[in-house]
Structure 1
Amino acid sequence: MDKTQASPFRSLAVRNFRLFAAGQVVSVAGTWMMVVSQDWLVLDMTGDSATALGTLTALQFTPVLLLTLYGGRLADRYDKRLLLTVANLASGALALGLAVLVLAGDVRLWHLYLFAVGLGTVNAFEVPARMAFVAELVGPDLLPNASALSAAYFSAARVAGPAVSGLLISAAGTGPVMLLNAASYLAAVAGLRMMRPGDMVRAEPAGRASGVLDGLRYVRTRPDLVVPLALLAVIGLLGFNFQLTLPLLAKTVFHTDATAFGLLTTAFAAGSLFAAFATTARRGRPAARTVTGSALAFGVLETAVGFAPGYLSAAVLLCLTGFATMYFAQAVNHRIQLGSDPRFRGRVMALYALILQGLTPLGALLVGWLMARHGARSGLWAGGTASLTAALVVLLAPRLRRGSRSTAPDTAAPAPVSGRR
């Protein structure tokens, strides 16, 4: 067997993807540094107001809810490399403007809110284009590997970015961190512009008459796409609320400090990173049972975290839950992306991004209300059991339908005739 084909890093042999990955590593690390510095600045300006922080998050995700499907339409109609270049330049300009205000000491809370809306708007168009662009860089055979590597560097940046940001904020303040984030977008732009367009595997662009509704109609006619997306919707809404459940678990259940909370988050992120590398071995479209099985495992593990008797057991279970989280998300990603007509891929991936990123903040309101009344563990129990139930419904529904058909009376069959032979 060709060692290159067996390598978990085989997609990096493609020059265009190598350039893309290098730029994204720098840019994503900068983004996570920005998230930490932005949240820290909001809390510092408002006296640790959870309401202000929640408002900031809501403002950043609202454009994703409203505009992502239109972003997918643009990704199907226009050159994705150009769209990504413009999006990264716009994000860099927004970050630079905010950094200048912070460094000058003129920043106000409404500036941060405005930046959140602007960045969310850019993300609504950047995310579907970026997801669909990976297929053009490497082709369908290497897509699972390239997508898994993308998830791996995202998880690595999620671990390293906040750690570096914390050190820089302590040493120099939030302004320089935001300035570094603005510069990090230039790495993504440089990688995009250095690519060879002739090496890309481009699909025929969708016509002007093909819009958002056409993409939704296409998905509706494909049960093999509808089922994993529906499963993702339930789990994304109720199960993927760890940014809310973990701080409360650490502080109100185990009564730990910020450092110990950080270790819980790191355990979860480490599990996600292991799963991303594990899925680099995938060579084709995952089966439906892979999606359902990983959802089932996620539901069991999240519920188990809610029952963890102590801090150490919670950390171990969170590492396993992080693995199941990433494995499930990647299985859904690969199943719908490899099963979609390339002409609709941008809109299909926009729907995936909308469900994954748009529903979680809405679910956080429900889970937060539940935890306020019944404690931090209840949020994990609710998310885990809802995910487990959804997976069981998907798993058992075909068998129940087959069973009902087999036991139904056959009205067309002749009635038995009594008598002698």
Structure 2
Amino acid sequence: MTDVRTRPLLLRNADFAKVWTAQVAAQGAFRMLQVGLVWWIVSHVAAERRGLATGLLMVLGTLPAALLVPVVARVLARHASRDVLRRTTWVAACVAAALAAWAALGTVPLAAVYPVALALAVCQAFFDPCIPTSVTALVDAEDIENATAVTLATLSMAGLAGAFTAPLLVEHTGLAGLVLACAACYALSGTAAGLARFRPSEAPPTPASAPRQRRLRDILTGLPLLRSILLCLAAVNLFSTAVFVIFPLYTKSVLHADATTFALLEAGLGVGTLLGALSGKHLTGRATSVGAVCVTGFAVALALPGLVAHRPVVIGCLVVAGWCVGAVGVRFVALFQRAVPAADKPGFFAVMQAMIGATFPVASLVFGLLGDHLSPQTLCLIQAVGVLPAACALYALRGREHALTTAPPTRTALLEGKA
């Protein structure tokens, strides 16, 4: 048994490996589409007011995750994750294939890509919360933290692959090649998810035996510490996600560079996030303390590109910023996995996705509008200053986390978040 445990999780758990493949393909496709369309707008469509055009695209790409929280929570509670994963990815594949066919036959107007981005974001709003919710139905209890690190690293890896290839695809194959690649990835994801077998507990309960689902508000009210952490993470996300709007503009107007440079910047951020997700579980200390330090490091890494416009410096800063984000994600998601009661996990992770994701449309629109009036370097400095209050708030929560981790592992202690 010891020999089996020493093997990598993806090699000794075939069903988890299939869901991992589905995650890589779907999240990589979505990230590829986002980055590719942003670069297509910046380079080929909008000569003026690029900030607003890209910001609007990012708003539509992230709004469903915030607006559909109650619907997503109900769907995840009533339907098997395998079915949700499979169906959403096949719908996304069909939508992307339709746009690819249009682009191959003629010119696609800018207005046409917005509904496609919205439709794929709706599919992703159901897909993403399924991944953390499915972990306990795929792996043993002792593998939960390891599996959580793998899924978060996968998000980083998929984002890295998608972000790096997207600008190059747009540059060399046009919009048709970009969207066709996305459709193929979604099809692969749907196939892999359909082949995975979940444990019986993953199957939705029958109507006669189904327990009454708690309201989302009740879930958060019963978890005060985790609610506070989510608010801090949402505040960080409000400023951190603006990098996806700022750095295409930074590449064009500050570095005066092409798709290759933009791909390198995206790759730097992705590599850093991947390394952070892989190494975050090895960091010692309470999650809130580690989070405060990492968010502060993130602020410093974002401030430097606002002061020094040199490509190697900017790439290095994005690697550091990505590492901080990845490390924070692993520590807090692992804490949530252990502290949230099993019956509340579908609702909690849907709320988590929404609270963090809800800041993305706001950040995209606000920083997109600011990008038409302020320089990208100024926007980098605004980002850096903006995340510092959240770092202070996380540090202030360390005492409450200590009470949670030292309390007896009873449902009451976990729900109250205190001894």
TM range (shorter): 0.7 to 0.9
Question: What corresponds to 1:95 in structure 2?
Answer: 96
Alpha-carbon shift at residue 290 of structure 1 (Å): 3.1
Q: Which moved more, 1:148-157 or 1:169-178?
A: 169-178
The DSSP-based 3-state class of the residue aligned with 1:197 is coil
Query: What displacement does 1:215 show?
Result: 2.1
| 1:266-281 matched pairs, under 5 angstroms | 266-279=267-280
Q: How does 1:364-403 map to 2 (within 5 A)?
A: 364-368=364-368, 375-396=375-396
- 256-265 or 121-130, which deviates more: 256-265
The answer to which of 257-266 and 364-373 deviates more is 364-373
Matches within 5 A, 1:61-100: 61-100=62-101
What secondary structure, in the 3-state scheme, does the structure 2 residue paired with 1:210 have? coil
Cα distance between partner residues in 2 of 1:19 and 1:397 = 37
Question: What letter is aligned with 1:260?
Answer: T
Larger Rg: 1
The answer as to whether partners of 1:71 and 1:126 remain within 8 angstroms in 2 is no
Deviation at 1:37, TM superposition (A): 4.4
Does 2:127 match 1:131?
A: no
Distance 2:277 2:225 in 1: 23
Q: CA separation in 1, counterparts of 2:3 and 2:286?
A: 23
Q: 1:165 to 1:290 in 2, by over 3 A?
A: closer
Superposition pairs of residues 11-410 of structure 1, within 5 angstroms = 11-39=10-38, 42=41, 46-48=45-47, 50=50, 51-105=52-106, 107-198=108-199, 207=210, 209-210=212-213, 214-279=215-280, 287-308=287-308, 310-368=310-368, 375-396=375-396
Paired with 2:365 and 2:31, the residues of 1 have a C-alpha distance of 23
CA-atom RMSD, angstroms? 3.4
- Displacement of 1:261 in angstroms is 3.8
User: C-alpha displacement at 1:237, in angstroms?
Assistant: 0.9
- CA distance, structure 2, for counterparts of residue 52 and residue 364 of structure 1: 10
Which range is displaced more, 326-335 or 361-370?
A: 361-370
CA positional deviation for 1:16: 0.8
Pick which of 176-185 and 88-97 moved more.
Answer: 176-185
Whichever residue aligns with residue 319 of structure 1, its letter is V
Unpaired segments ≥5 residues, structure 2: 401-419
Give the letter for the 2:298 counterpart.
Answer: F
Residue type of the partner of 2:306?
G
1:249-303 per-residue CA deviation (whole Å, 9 max, x = no partner) reads 44444555543343333222211121122136589x9643333333333234333
Distance in 2 separating the partners of 1:259 and 1:356: 30
What is the CA distance between 1:208 and its match in structure 2?
Answer: 7.4
Take 1:281 and 1:12, find their aligned partners in 2: how far apart are those partners? 22
Kindly provide the amino acid, as one letter, of the partner of residue 189 in structure 1: G
Contact 1:136/1:202 (8 A) holds in 2: no
Residues 374 and 117 of structure 1, relative CA distance in 2, 3 Å threshold: closer
Tell me whether 195-204 or 157-166 shows the greater mean CA deviation: 195-204
SS at match of 1:173: helix
8 Å Cα contact 2:81/2:134 also seen in 1: yes
Asked if the contact 1:72/1:129 (under 8 Å) is kept, the reply is: no
| C-alpha contact 1:241 1:360 (8 A) present in aligned 2 | yes
State the Cα deviation string for residues 64-122 of structure 1 (Å, max 9, x = none). 22113420232122211111111112111111221222222274444322212222222
Shift of 1:162: 4.2
Q: 1:414 maps to what in 2? A: none
**Aligned partner of 1:216: which letter?**
R
Q: What TM-score do you get using the length of structure 1 for normalisation?
A: 0.81
Q: Write the distance in 2 (CA, Å) between the matches of 1:22 and 1:102.
A: 28
Give the 3 Å change call, closer, same or farther, for CA 46–377 of structure 1 in structure 2: closer
**Distance in 2 (alpha carbons) for counterparts of 1:281 and 1:396:** 22
> Any idea what the Cα deviations from partners look like across 1:113-157, whole Å, max 9, x if unmatched?
221222222222222223312232124432222222223233233
Q: Which amino acid aligns with 2:213?
A: S
Deviates more, 1:47-56 or 1:37-46: 37-46
Partner of 2:414: none
Deviates more, 1:336-345 or 1:155-164: 155-164
Question: For this pair of structures, how many residues does the alignment match?
Answer: 396
Q: 1:323 to 1:203 in 2, by over 3 A?
A: farther
Q: CA deviation at 1:63?
A: 2.1
Tell me by how many angstroms 1:378 deviates: 3.2
Change (3 A) 1:45 1:321: closer
Q: Give the AA of the match of 1:26.
A: A
Q: Secondary structure at the match of 2:142?
A: coil
Amino acid at match of 1:58: V
How high is the TM-score relative to the length of structure 2? Answer: 0.81
Q: Which moved more, 1:241-250 or 1:72-81?
A: 241-250
In the alignment, the residues of structure 2 paired with residue 41 and residue 311 of structure 1 have an alpha-carbon distance, to the nearest angstrom, of: 21
Change (3 A) 1:10 1:234: same
Report how far residue 374 of structure 1 moved: 5.3
Contact 2:31 2:158 survives alignment (8 Å): yes
What is the CA deviation profile of residues 288-325 of structure 1, one whole-angstrom value per residue up to 9, with x for unaligned ones? Answer: 33333333332343334434474433332221111001
d(CA) in 1 for partners of 2:378, 2:171: 35
